[in-house]
Structure 1
């Protein structure tokens, strides 16, 4: 009896390692940062309100996925007037599109805690396929995910043509996710 129970427990424990962990982003311990050129200067900012789900198993990357959002109304460039303008309809239109979302469509391992992701990024009501590498390192009770990629704001109909503002936005993610 005890042998069967022990074998069942061991089999379940080993099988649990094959399945993805269901994780939630920890907003207070994560960073969603961006940088864009404006009048020749780099303007950086951040977004908070990170929410969603991350199912991750480094041994089964193809079975892993993420679907997370960030709150557009939290945009912060250390300039309240600019932040208020960015929330208006000629930029993010936060009243109509209150979140930015990113949802994976494919994850592949690359080695050394590095993975390749294909995902759909949705901003301002426009969804586009993107791809990027990310690093996943174990953290207490979960994982820390780090990634960098660039997007063209015009692809998402944000801000329109501008002689003073750059089109490319560099995005940097540092997300802690726990059970």
Structure 2
């Protein structure tokens, strides 16, 4: 049980860490996603500057982030090693969500950092790049980046909900088993009194 609790800590810690990072980006994302089109241009510039600043941060920042991702995966491996049926259901679903989050991070967020920093948007002509049709506009790129952050936050909240659900289910099961044992003990005592 102690190893299972430590493994849960290894999952919950990095998940909360990522949610904190995403929460700090939410003011940028909110304005890009939900402001009126007339107001968005101002917020596009702010988000673009923010992304460029984050992408230019020292390598230790991304290494810490990747260590945290690995720590979460280690927690899942520890919990799923010789797992019970409850672990397979809750932790399996949590792992699927966690991997979906990693996929969103790698495919949309990391790619968004590179595209925004390079300034390669949909205004590229086929003469400049033979893959010009693969690029999307500046507005779409920034909105996809902001939406990816929001989706990632929802996925990570799902991981936390599943971990909390597993904790609740285990505590409920323990309480029911204790109640059954107490009733069995009470019956034994009553049987001895009758003899």
Instruction: Give the TM-score normalised by the residue count of structure 1.
Output: 0.23
Q: Which has the higher helix share?
A: 2
Q: Which has the higher strand share?
A: 1
Greater Rg by CA: 2
